[in-house]
Amino acid sequence: MSTKVGKVLFIDDDIDVLQAAKLFLKQHLERIDTETNPEMISTLLKNESYDVILLDMNFTRDVSSGYEGFLWLEKILDIDPSAVVVLITAYGDVEMAVRAIKEGAVDFVLKPWENQKLLATIFAAMRLRQSRIEAASLRSKQKTLSADLDQPFSDFIGVCPAMQKVFDTISKVAKTDANVLILGENGTGKELVARELHRQSKRANEVFISVDMGALTETLFESELFGHVKGAFTDAKEDRTGRFEIASGGSLFLDEIGNLPLPLQAKLLTVLQNRKITRIGSNKAIDIDIRLICATNLPILEMVSNREFRQDLLYRINTVEISLPPLRERQEDIPLLADHFLAMYSKKYNRPNKRVSAAGMKKLLKYHWPGNVREIQHSIERAVILSDSQVIQPGDFYFNTPESSEDSMIFDNYNLEDVEKMVIRKAMSKYGGNISQAARELGLTRTSLYRRLGKYGL
C-alpha cells in the first residue's frame, strides 16, 4: 500500500524543468501536476485543491525581474487565501526573497535546486498547509458553536420603557471597551446582556468566557482564573491556562461577582489594574487584553457601605452600569415572552403551535414571578410538554411558590434548610418579591436575604 501523500502543482514555462521535477517528485508525492501556462492557474485551482504550489517567478515575457511571479502569486492568493506557495527563480536574491515572503509566499527556492532540499521545502510547506486547514476548521467550528450558544440570546426581547433603556445603553457601550456592571435579580437575564454586549462589540469574533464567581472556592480561585504550571501544587500534573489568559482578545464575564470574599477581591483588583496575570508556580507575568463584564444579584452599593465589597474594585468594574428590571415591573412584556417561549418550545418538542387562553394569560399576569424571565421560560416549557390541548389553560401552569394562605405552613420535614427555604419563599410571595419588605418580615438585612435567595435559587 502506497504511503505517498501530498498534491503539488508546479508552474514553470520551461518544460525541461517541469519534467525533471516531476520525475523526481513523483517518487515521493501522491500527485504532481505540471503546467507551462500560468493563465491556466484559475482553472486548475477551481478543479483541484493543492497542498503546495511551486511557482516560477519569471516567464518568457519577463526574464529576470520576477514581476510576473508576484503577479501570479497575488492571483493565487485571491483565489485561495490559504494556499501555500513556494516561489522559484534562477535569479533570486535576498531582497526578492524578502518581498516574496511579505506578499504571501511561504518559501523561496533557487534554480538549480538540490533535490533533497526541494523535497524538504515541499514537506515543510505541506505541514504548514495542514496547519492552516486545521486552524480554519477550528475557527469555523468556534464560530458555529458561538452562534449556537448565542441562539437563545438572539431574541432578547422587551417593549417596556425600562428594557428599551437597557437596549439603548447596550448599543451605546458595546462598541467601546468600557467595563460594564450588570445588576438584577436572579433570572432577569444578566448573561443575556453580557452576551449581547460581546456580540455587538469589536471583539465579537473572539471568545466569550463566562465564570461563575459564586461557585469558585478560595483554593480554586487563582488556579481557575490565573492558571498554574505543572508541579505548582500536589494535583498540578500539567500546565493549565487560566480563564483570563483564555479570554485574552475577547470578553470575560464574571458572574455573581458580589459573592467574592474580600481577600480574593484584592487579588482580582491587582490583575485588573496591571492587566497582567501570573500562573501559580511561575514568576512570569503574562499580559492580558480583555473586555470585562461583571454581574451580581446582590445590593453591591450597600455591600460597599457595609465594607463587604471593596469600593476601589467597584469603581474598576462599573464604568457603565446596567440595571435589569424584575419581570413583575415589566408586565407588558409577559405576553411577548410567553409567545416567544411558546414558539421556541413548540418547535423544539415538535408540537403544534400552541397559544395561551385569555384565562391562562390572566394567571401569568397576576403572578409575581420571583424567578423572573427564567421562571416564565420554564413554566411555558413545562406547559408545552404536558398540555394535550392546543390552547394552554390556567391549570397547565404550575408555580413553585405556594398560592395558598400565607398564614398556614405545613412542613413535610424539619430540615432547617428546607424550612428556611419555604419561609423565605412565602415571605417573597407575600410581598410580591419586594426585597426590603420581605427582609424586614424575616428579620434579615437585604444583603443577607439576597445571599439566601442566591443559595436556594429563588
CATH code at position 387: 1.10.8.60
Domain presence at residue 145: no
Q: Distance (Å, rounded) from C-alpha 174 to C-alpha 179?
A: 10
Residue type at 200 in one-letter notation: Q
> Among candidates 453, 375, 450, 376, which has minimal Cα distance to 421?
453
Q: Distance (Å, rounded) from C-alpha 153 to C-alpha 145?
A: 13
**Is the per-residue pLDDT at 328 higher than 70?**
yes
- Domain final residue pick, 307, 323, 339: 323
Domain presence at residue 213: yes
Domain presence at residue 291: yes
CA-derived radius of gyration, the chain: 31
Average pLDDT over residues 381-401: 87
Q: Distance (Å, rounded) from C-alpha 39 to C-alpha 13?
A: 11
Domain presence at residue 172: yes
**Is the per-residue pLDDT at 412 higher than 70?**
no
**Is the per-residue pLDDT at 236 higher than 80?**
no
Same domain, 258 and 366: no
408 φ, ψ (degrees, to nearest 5): -105, 130
3 φ, ψ (degrees, to nearest 5): -110, 5
Alpha helices, H only, 178-291: 190-199, 218-226, 243-247, 262-274
Q: Do the Cβ atoms of 437 and 431 come closer than 8 Å? A: yes
Range of the domain at 360: 327-396
Q: Do the Cβ atoms of 13 and 56 come closer than 8 Å? A: yes
**Is the per-residue pLDDT at 156 higher than 80?**
no
Same domain, 181 and 317: yes
CATH code, domain with 64: 3.40.50.2300
Q: Which residue has the higher pLDDT, 151 or 393?
A: 393
Q: Distance (Å, rounded) from C-alpha 163 to C-alpha 153?
A: 15
| Phi and psi based region of residue 227 (left: phi greater than 0; alpha: psi -120 to 50; beta: remaining) | left
Write the burial class of residue 387 (CB in 10 Å: 0-12 exposed, 13-18 middle, 19+ buried).
middle
Same domain, 386 and 432: no
Same domain, 304 and 333: no
* Mean of per-residue pLDDT scores for the chain: 85
Same domain, 26 and 71: yes
In the prediction, which pLDDT does 414 show?
63
**Is the per-residue pLDDT at 409 higher than 60?**
no
185 φ, ψ (degrees, to nearest 5): -70, 165
CATH code, domain with 435: 1.10.10.60
Same domain, 94 and 109: yes
Q: Distance (Å, rounded) from C-alpha 272 to C-alpha 317?
A: 9
Percent of the chain with pLDDT over 90: 47
CATH code, domain with 230: 3.40.50.300
Domain presence at residue 275: yes
DSSP character at residue 280: B
- Domain final residue pick, 323, 352, 372: 323
Domain presence at residue 248: yes
Same domain, 314 and 172: yes
In the prediction, which pLDDT does 250 show?
93
Same domain, 228 and 83: no
In the prediction, which pLDDT does 238 show?
80
Same domain, 295 and 428: no
- HSE (side-chain half, CA atoms, 13 Å) at 149: 17
**How many domains does the chain divide into?**
4
Q: Do the Cβ atoms of 267 and 254 come closer than 8 Å? A: no
- Domain final residue pick, 73, 105, 136: 136
Q: Which residues contact 174 (CB under 8 A, 6 or more apart)?
A: 196, 197, 198, 199, 200, 201
Same domain, 294 and 213: yes
Alpha helices, H only, 254-310: 262-274, 300-305
Average pLDDT over residues 229-257: 87
Domain presence at residue 274: yes
Same domain, 277 and 377: no
1 pLDDT band, cuts 50/70/90, is very low
In the prediction, which pLDDT does 318 show?
93
Domain presence at residue 282: yes
Same domain, 280 and 423: no
Q: Do the Cβ atoms of 308 and 261 come closer than 8 Å? A: no
